[in-house]
Amino acid sequence: MTFQDYFPIWNKLQTDQQDRIRSNLNFRTVKKGTILHNGDMDCTGLLLVKAGQLRAYILSDEGREITIYRLFDRDLCLFSASCIMRSIQFEVTIQAEKDTDLWVIPAEVYQDIMETSAPVANYTNELMASRFSEVMWLMEQVMWKSLDKRVAAFLLEEASIEGSSVLKITHEAIANHLGTHREVITRMLRYFQSEGMVRLSRGMVRLLDEDRLRQLQD
Amino acid sequence: MTFQDYFPIWNKLQTDQQDRIRSNLNFRTVKKGTILHNGDMDCTGLLLVKAGQLRAYILSDEGREITIYRLFDRDLCLFSASCIMRSIQFEVTIQAEKDTDLWVIPAEVYQDIMETSAPVANYTNELMASRFSEVMWLMEQVMWKSLDKRVAAFLLEEASIEGSSVLKITHEAIANHLGTHREVITRMLRYFQSEGMVRLSRGMVRLLDEDRLRQLQD
């Protein structure tokens, strides 16, 4: 499997555009925890995930975090190349959540092609619309949903991503995903534990009653 | 001043594309308060504001609202035509905040042109990126900023839009902009009043100390 199998609109590119991307592509292997992009950096480029998991989050002045979306195999990250559009006026940080293999497409290469190619521009539109939808979903969550529902939904999502009901995750990490404080998460998880929905141990949350967590999240 | 003076990329369209838009355009005059689009409706089309003011907001199941952006003269609203992109998976309501003159471009006409035109697709990208940036800004506000700062910022923004320090607005309307309850806004405004920053009367908020409101919002 090579880049062209992962890049969804490869066949809609002209030969010279394919050549230009191919000859400017960088392949990277990064360790879990690596910061691939942050707001201070110049344009890192578009990131196409071959295998692994990335997380995009925003940071408050006080260092609080909230996850705005995640990227899995075959996902393309646009906002690590926000310089390609002058209207992108916000900063995200992109971090590897697992060891990740990815390609980096230089921003100016992508931008040049997008400027003249309707298929690339429309694909970029769909990509942005899909991230936009995730952020709007998140906005609805933080506006209208109480934190117990959001913690329940997060635990179920993690279990589904990991394919396991035993989650190796700290309370701090959960807080950073949901934009709250560690103490608040610890209190909530202890309540879940007292209700028999989870069992807690150091750096670990074991889901005991996914049905009840599901009822809670709705 | 005609449509082509308001549509920013008119000159980048081919003649047949210009003809197609011109012959399918609808001009509408709507009263303050009119709902122009909501999630249940089919694709209303793209709205280009000639003169007036629109508000885009989302609704919770319980009927709470939060304003996600506003549109003024020359602004184009994409999300009233969300059918043009399958990745737009959220619903906004668009309401006239003032009597408004606007053009409606049918969604399928715009979509057809966008599919083959790189300039139109790239313009749409910039448009979406700019709304995305507004929503990210809002997300940061609701996540990290206390409500007193958000109310102060809202009052100052209103005063700037209206060009007046006397705002004809109800506590209910402010609550609907900020995604909170009327009672919470009333309490906050009374606190502002006790601090000498505003004076309240029925359906009216008068800003008395914009400097202190500005200090508060930061």
- Which residue of chain A comes nearest to B118, CA vs CA? A118
Q: Does residue B137 sit in the same domain as residue B170?
A: no
- What residues of chain A lie within 8 A of the CB of B59, using their CB? none
User: Considering only alpha carbons, which residue of chain B is nearest residue A132?
Assistant: B132
Closest Cα of chain A to B89: distance in Å? Answer: 5
Tell me how far the alpha carbon of residue B204 is from its chain's centroid.
22
Contact A143 B66 (CB under 8 A): yes
**B1-54: pLDDT as tens digits:** 799 999 999 999 999 999 999 999 999 999 999 999 997 777 889 999 999 999
How many Å apart are CA A74 and CA A102, to the nearest integer? Answer: 9
> What is the helix (H) or strand (E) element at residue B36, kind and residue range?
strand B35-37
Quote ipTM for the complex: 0.88
Looking at every residue in chain B, the average pLDDT score rounds to 94
Residue B134 and residue B59 in one domain? yes
Number of domains in chain A: 2
Do B154 and B76 lie in one domain? The reply is no
Burial category of A183 from C-beta neighbours within 10 Å (exposed 0-12, middle 13-18, buried 19 and up)? exposed
Task: State the CATH number of the domain containing residue A149.
Answer: 1.10.10.10
Mean pLDDT value of segment A175-200: 94
Secondary structure string (H, E, C) spanning B67-84? EEEEECCCCEECHHHHHH
Shared domain for A36 and A110, answered yes or no, is yes
SS (H, E, C) A8-61: CCHHHCCHHHHHHHHHHCEEEEECCCCEEECCCCCCCCEEEEEECCEEEEEECC
Report the pLDDT value the prediction gives residue A1, as an integer from 0 to 100.
78
Return the H-helix or E-strand segment holding A4.
helix A3-6
Q: pLDDT by residue (tens digit) across A14-60?
A: 999 999 999 999 999 999 999 999 977 778 899 999 999 999 999 98
pLDDT for B40 equals: 72
Cβ of B122 within 8 Å of Cβ of A114? The answer is yes
Chain B contact set for A8 (CB, 8 A) = none
Pair A133, A153 in one domain: no
| Confidence (pLDDT) at A61 | 85
Whether residues B16 and B33 share a domain: the answer is: yes
- Domain limit, last residue, from B87, B112, B143: B143
User: CA distances (Å), A83 to each of A80, A91, A94, B66, B218, in order?
Assistant: 8, 11, 15, 29, 27
Give the strand order in the sheet containing A198-201.
A166-167, A204-207, A198-201
Q: Are residues A84 and A167 in the same domain?
A: no
Residues of chain A in contact with residue B126, where contact means CB-CB under 8 angstroms, are: 85-87
Tens digits of residue pLDDT in B120-147: 999 999 999 999 999 999 999 998 899 9
In which band, very low, low, confident or very high, does the pLDDT at B217 lie, cut at 50, 70 and 90?
A: confident
Residues of A whose CB is below 8 A from B145: none
Q: Are residues A174 and A204 in the same domain?
A: yes
Residue A62, pLDDT above cutoff 90? no
Last residue of a domain, one of A137, A162, A194: A137
Q: Can you list the pairs that A170-179 forms with residues at least 24 positions away whose Cβ atoms lie under 8 Å?
A: A170/A203, A174/A205, A176/A57, A176/A64, A176/A65, A176/A66, A176/A67, A177/A55, A177/A57, A177/A65, A177/A66, A177/A67, A178/A66, A178/A67, A178/A147, A178/A150, A178/A151, A178/A154, A179/A64, A179/A65, A179/A66, A179/A67, A179/A142, A179/B143
Clarify whether residues B36 and B117 are in a common domain. Answer: yes
Q: What is the pLDDT of residue A90?
A: 87
- For chain A, the average pLDDT equals 94
Claim to verify: residue A117 and residue A207 sit in the same structural domain: no
Q: What is the CATH number of the domain that holds A37?
A: 2.60.120.10
Looking at the fold, whether B137 and B152 belong to one and the same domain comes out as no
- Are A88 and B142 a contacting pair at CB < 8 A? no
pLDDT confidence of residue A135: 94
A164 pLDDT band, cuts 50/70/90, is: very high
Residues B151 and B130 in one domain: no
On the question of pLDDT at B155 being above 90, the answer is yes
Best to test chain A binding among B140, B141, B145, B180 (most A CBs inside 10 Å): B140
CA angle A113, A84, B90 (to 5 degrees): 100
Q: Which domain holds residue A82?
A: 3-137
- pLDDT at residue A133 is higher than 90: yes
For the segment B76-89, the average pLDDT, to the nearest whole number, is: 89
Task: Write down the pLDDT at residue A217.
Answer: 87
Give the residue from A108, A137, A166 where a domain finishes: A137
Tell me the pLDDT tens digit for each residue of A71-125: 999 999 999 998 888 888 888 999 999 999 999 999 999 999 999 999 999 999 9
Tokens describing residue A123? 């694909």
Question: Quick one: pLDDT at residue B89?
Answer: 86
Give the closest residue to B125 by CA, choosing from A139, A122, A199, A164.
A122
Contact B135 A135 (CB under 8 A): yes
